[in-house]
Amino acid sequence: MGFAQGDANYDETKVPKFTLPDLMTSFSGNPITTEKEWEENRRYEILQFFEKQVYGKVPGRLDEYSYKLIEENNKAYNGKARRKQVAITLKKNKKSVTYNILIYLPKKNPTAPVFLGYNFYGNHTVTNDPEVPITKAWVANNEAFGITNHKASERTRGVRTHRWAIEKMLDNGFGLATIYYGEVDPDKNDFNDGVHPLFYREEQSQPKTNEWGSISAWAFGLSKAMDYLENDANISNVIVFGHSRLGKAALWAGATDKRFAGVISNNSGCGGAALSKRKFGETVERINTSFPHWFADSFKKYNNNERTLPVDQHQLLALIAPRPLYVASAAEDTWADPRGEFLSAHYASSVYKLYGKSGIDTAELPAVDQPVQHTVAYHIRTGKHDVTDYDWEQYMTWAKTFLP
Ligand code: GCU
């Protein structure tokens, strides 16, 4: 798998000297001073860059989109929740992909804000609810979960409940919508399955240089889930959430689709919230080598060449402005570069200011377990690369205050 995490640079004094590309100066050198200039010029050119040179473009439109309510029940979680399972079908060139959204909504509220997030091993892993079918899609093998043939089994039901504080969400008036990411695009280095082949022309077997890798495909899946969610009468707002590689996808979905009311990046690291030019922990070369299918092919020209990147990840975060954005790190997750994630949120805040919103003013990393919450929020919590109840508690406090 390419590089060992232990070989990376974790020494602050070895971070190369670099100049961050300025958010408020266009690629051609013009100063950006108003919201209008940001929206019409600078935001647009940054978005284009990320689209063509980093994550890759979605190569066209679907021929057909449909959703089907597979099942609905109002007795989930001891009667606290209404459960819905919705199948989304995407069609193009006579090919189709179907994926399932598992939704829990707090019954006490007729409409509720919802966190939308991908899970890593199947919808049945986030809950012990026996009514959630085991995914039939390809899953990564995992010894601890007893997955050896890329198939999930009953044995994996509920194995990831600790990452999804569902009862807490329900008690706080939030819902959850979750999707197994492998149903949208299996996370392996080929382009023969998932949504990519739907868009191929005859004889084509992989996306073109500037076209979508898997992160962009996952972000597309989130947007298409939003096509359903925004029409569900029990849902008021959707906050897109993701952990790690799925945090990268959540950020890109939030940047490209303004219907997401808020965005949460949990330990998203390299290619997510962390600044690439710091080359701290995982680097562009490492990520493109270990996961050659995640980004557009064109991103590979920045392997060990971050210096020449005309953008950095604070600009990805700025694309989300003025919508609420939460970036979270974990103290032991040095591979994801907590300081780089923090600085990104700090630098992106200048665009929030343009909109009269408050962000992270200080460039000094807050103490562990001391969240700083404005429209842009950040925390670094004790512990490892993971999603914990602590993380969800902070997200809910922030969402209650800053969500429209
Ligand atoms: C690897 C990868 C990270 C990614 C992580 C995850 O560690 O290098 O970029 O965020 O997997 O998704 O858990």
Domains of the chain: residue spans and CATH: 5-402 (3.40.50.1820)
Other C-beta atoms closer than 10 Å to the C-beta of 171 total: 14
Per-residue pLDDT, 4: 83
Could you tell me whether strands 262-266 and 325-330 are parallel, antiparallel, or unpaired per DSSP bridges?
Answer: parallel
Per-residue pLDDT, 404: 86
Mean pLDDT of the chain: 97
Mutate to test the pocket of ligand 1, among 245, 276, 291 (most ligand atoms within 8 A of CB): 245
**pTM reported for the whole predicted model:** 0.98
The complex's ipTM works out to 0.97
Whole-angstrom Cα distance, residue 136 to residue 162?
Answer: 23
Place of tokens 């990268």: 248
Whole-angstrom Cα distance, residue 196 to residue 198?
Answer: 6
Active site residue 385: yes
Q: Which ligand 1 atom is nearest residue 335's CA? A: 7
Nearest to 391 by CA among 70, 383, 375: 383
Mutate to test the pocket of ligand 1, among 188, 335, 384 (most ligand atoms within 8 A of CB): 335
Q: Which ligand 1 atom is nearest residue 246's CA? A: 12
Q: Which residues of 91-102 are buried (b: 16+ CB within 10 A; e: fewer)?
A: ebeeeebebbbb
Rounded to whole angstroms, the maximal C-alpha distance in the chain is 59
Judge contact between 199 and 59, C-beta under 8 A.
yes
Backbone angles phi, psi at 3, to 5 degrees: -110, 145
Judge contact between 258 and 281, C-beta under 8 A.
no
Per residue in 131-174, pLDDT (tens digit) is: 999 999 999 999 999 999 999 999 999 999 999 999 999 999 99
The alpha carbon of 66 and the centre of ligand 1 are apart by a number of angstroms equal to: 32
Q: Which ligand 1 atom is nearest residue 244's CA? A: 10
Per-residue pLDDT, 70: 98
Whole-angstrom Cα distance, residue 121 to residue 116?
Answer: 16
Amino acid code (one letter) for 143:
E
The alpha carbon of 246 and the centre of ligand 1 are apart by a number of angstroms equal to: 9
Residue nearest to atom 8 of ligand 1 (CA): 287
Other C-beta atoms closer than 10 Å to the C-beta of 36 total: 10
Per-residue pLDDT, 19: 94
Determine whether 303 is exposed, middle or buried from the number of CB atoms within 10 Å of its CB (0-12, 13-18, 19+): middle
Ligand 1 interacting residues, C-beta cut-off 6 A: 244-245, 269-270, 282, 287, 290, 335
Q: Return averaged pLDDT per consecutive 10 residues of the chain, 404 residues in all.
A: 81 96 97 96 98 98 98 97 98 98 97 98 98 98 96 97 98 98 97 97 96 98 98 98 99 98 98 98 98 98 97 98 98 98 98 97 98 98 98 98 94
